[in-house]
Amino acid sequence: MKKIQLVILLGWAAVAGYAQSWVRINQLGYTEKDIKVAVLVSKDRIHCGHFSVVDATTHQSVFTSRKVQAFAAYAAFKQGFRLNFTAFKTPGRYYIKAGGIVSPVFTINNGIYDGTADFVLQYMRQQRSRFNPFLNDSCHTEDGFIVYHKDKRKDSTRIDVAGGWHDASDYLQYLPTSANAAFQMLFAYMMNPGSFGDAYDAAGKKGGNGIPDILDEARWGLEWMVKMNPGKEEYYNQIADDRDHRGMRLPNEDTVHYGPGMGLSRPVYFISGKPQGPKYQNRTRGVASSAGKFASAFALGAKILKGYDPAFAAQLAEKARDAYAFGKKYPGNNQTIPFGAPYFYEEDNYVDDMELAALALYETDRKPDYLTEALDFARREPVTPWMGADTARHYQWYPFVNLGHYFGARQAAGAKEYLSFMRAGIERVKQRGGGNPFLMGVPFIWCSNNLTVALLTQISLYKEASGDHQYDELEAAMRDWLFGCNPWGTGMICDLPEGGVAPRDPHSAFTHLHGYKISGGLVDGPIYGSIWDKLIGIRLYKPDKFAEFQSPLVIYHDDYGDYSSNEPTMDGTASLSYYLSKMQAAAHAQTALRTDSEGAVIGFPGRKVYLVFSAHDKGEGGSYIHRVLKQNRVKASFFFTGDFLRTPEFRPLVVQLKKEGHYIAAHSDKHLLYNDWTKRDSLLVTKEQFKNDLESAYKTLGGMGIKKGQWFLPPYEWYNKAIVQWAKEMGLTVINFTPGTGTNADYTWPEQSNYKSSEQLLDRLTKVAEEKGLDGSILLIHYGTDERRKDKFYKQLDRVISLLRSKGYEPDRLP
């Protein structure tokens, strides 16, 4: 209790001279390597030239910096400052002190994201319809009866579509948001499988079932989507309508009647491709926006669930193909239905959905036509239109992130173009937010937090696909915004962190009527004051604790009565699963690296295996290696000497490898032997020689448009502690092959006593995989070898990749 009181005291104290000033931070904390920026905001005219990081236990300053950036008036504040303490990496608990103002206490620790991706699934389970595991009761089991069917004889007939998730704090259910949620969770697992646990069964009740919880949750949505697509060209888009909004009640206590003789059955809206709505009509012009969402979720579900349920996966694959064909046949947008009020999801785009559908189908079917069609769709909407805009209608451009661009960037054809699309969108938002201390360029429309998560996702994926780190600070700012570095100093996810300032009174019957927590739910988020003033039925039920931080520009209320800024949404919450799982995985990659006695990294955590190729004067295997990697859709890492890079015949393929997303780095410039073979501590080069040689290599790489990365593979894979330290001082981390894997012996030829044939190398690798495992291993294969070796091991690359995948490993480039 005393610790909590201290956090509050430190967060809200106003000191003479700096009255009406606050320091905002990420309440969840920071990993050691995170970009770390606090924001000082003030209602007074103040000056801030430096700040300190203070140990929360000893109250002693441990870091002082003058890295301060000033900003003009924004929102409720006359002045703001960005306080950058990225250079401070020591784990512990601290607070920021700037001009007498102190921040809440925060943590620096690489474990802060552990379990967060699973944490948000609590809200997803609470949103389940048919059986709700949180309430341990059933609800909406009578869904539903058909309306707007093209065959009028089917109108008002029953159809079993019970299941899925309630959309938000009302109990409507929408295909667009549910399909996006299912895809987002499948994608999160695909990208970061090690970040998810198994503590719940398929019904959402406690007790593992051998399947990661996120896949159980995604399947819950997919099974409902199968019901919403009972036959070819028969798709449904929505269950219930705004007649639902007749007072707050728990879902298992719903008594709303939608028609005489229908009991508690709710209307199920058929996708007709035409405008619908009795009083306020939507602007539907086709089916492709919904058909594309069906197709992409089904296709990715088929890929991810194949190992768990082949029959269900096959069903999903077939439905994905049908849905994609349906979308191509009837292009155009399909919107949700307004009934008695003018509010609905006004989705106006569809090519993004079809792009993603084509690329997701390519993941399962490998048909080149999908790639051609996807790129055509992508060129028609290269940037999701909300990015850089000041406003948009409700869900006008949805989904808020185009994940198709990332899948496209993973392909050799069109990768550069897809990356340019991703970068252009990020750049637009960056430019819009560059003038405020939070770097916030997201428009404050309804569900602005969902847009913030979308931007975070796009920056993260763009960085992964391109290796471009220019948006790292913007990414950190958007992440920190969600955890309290915003004008109100509050997190935007219910109970995360549980001891911090976060939504406590969200717009939800669970909390308002019964005091049930809805942990993990992402609330709508800040909204323009001009929008809030015009919304129907909003009132605050208690004094506004954030009153002094509200402004005509933007408001946020932690109050049950504000459904516009404080209502959790199912799709926004699901969209968090990728980024939180990525942050957990990245943090563990920092802490769980395996190193050898000299300090070089020789392995990583997780189930990936990292393929590394090196070359100095031999390069005859390049074309073959490139072809096999491309055929298997595998990215790898390549280390080349400066001499190799300056050889005209080798350069074009190196440039092509970089364009396709492979990691390219230096293997020194002249392939020097750094230290004695028998006396490892005995150096053969000076520090200056080492530095000059390496700088020459990176200069050559730079001339080819290749930036300096993190990893360095020394020549001959031979080094000592001094070399590792010298590399570190140049911002590099020395890596080497994982001992025992054996593939590095492919340089040998028959006349040598240590010669190993390709079959021997494969046998050894297979044995290691079966007996010890290859988790996080680094496999070294030479890009070219001596002419005396006719049995080229790189020609076994396809077999190596197949072996790894058969053992449950995914080959990849260095992280």
Q: What is the pLDDT of residue 708?
A: 84
List phi, psi (to 5°) of 386: -70, -20
pLDDT at 607: 77
pLDDT above 60 (res 7): no
* Superfamily of segment(s) 2-108: Immunoglobulins (2.60.40.10)
d(CA 596, CA 107): 30
The pLDDT assigned to 590 comes to 64
Judge if 2-108 and 592-812 fold alike in CATH terms.
Answer: no
Rounded CA-CA distance 13/328 in Å is: 60
Residue 14: predicted pLDDT: 36
Q: Which amino acid is at 739?
A: P
Please give the Cα distance from 128 to 144 (Å, whole number): 16
The rounded distance, in Å, linking the Cα atoms of 329 and 293 is: 15
* Nearest in space to 769 (alpha carbons), one of 798, 806, 729: 806
Terminal CA-CA length for the chain: 41
**Which pLDDT value is given to residue 23?**
98
For residues 765 and 741, is the Cβ–Cβ distance under 8 A?
Answer: yes
Query: Comparing 155 with 534, which gets the higher pLDDT?
Result: 155
Mean pLDDT, rounded, for 643-665: 94
Token code pair at residue 259: 């028609």
Rounded mean pLDDT of the chain?
94
Separation of alpha carbons 805 and 811, rounded Å: 8
Q: Which amino acid appears at position 571 of this protein?
A: D
3-class SS of residue 76? coil
**Whole-model pTM?**
0.77
For residues 805 and 574, which has the higher predicted lDDT (pLDDT)? 574
CATH 3.40.30.10 matches 116-482+569-584:
no
More confident residue, 709 or 186: 186
The model's pLDDT over 687-743, given as tens digits with 9 standing for 90+, comes to 999 999 999 999 999 999 888 888 999 999 999 999 999 998 888 999 999 999 999
What Rg do the C-alpha atoms of the chain give, in angstroms? 28
Q: Which of 124, 235, 241, 244 is nearest to 178 (CA)?
A: 124
Q: Give 327's pLDDT tier (boundaries 50, 70, 90).
A: very high
Going from N- to C-terminal start, the domains of the chain cover: 2-108, 116-482+569-584, 592-812
User: Domain 592-812, what architecture?
Assistant: Alpha-Beta Barrel (3.20)
Residue 614 has pLDDT above 70, yes or no: yes
Q: Is the pLDDT of residue 15 over 50?
A: no
pLDDT tens digits for range 548-586: 999 999 999 999 999 999 999 999 999 999 999 999 988
- Whether residue 317 is predicted with pLDDT greater than 70 in this model: the reply is yes
Segment 276-297 shows an average pLDDT of: 97
**Whether residue 12 has pLDDT greater than 80:** no
Query: Which percentage of the chain shows pLDDT scores above 90?
Result: 87
The tens digit of pLDDT for each residue in 435-474 reads 999 999 999 999 999 999 999 999 999 998 888 899 999 9
Please say whether the beta carbons of 37 and 116 come within 8 A: no
| Chain position carrying tokens 């993004």 | 352
The pLDDT of 82-91, averaged and rounded, is: 95
Share of the chain above pLDDT 70, in %: 97
322's enclosing H/E stretch is helix 310-329
pLDDT at 81: 98
Closest CA to 506 of 574, 448, 567: 567
Indicate whether 371 pLDDT > 70.
yes
Q: Round to whole Å and give the CA distance between 248 and 538.
A: 14
What does the pLDDT average to over 112-120? 96
Query: Rounded to whole angstroms, how far apart are CA atoms 35 and 590?
Result: 14
Per-residue confidence band for 246, with pLDDT thresholds at 50, 70 and 90: confident
Rounded CA separation 95/10 (Å):
8
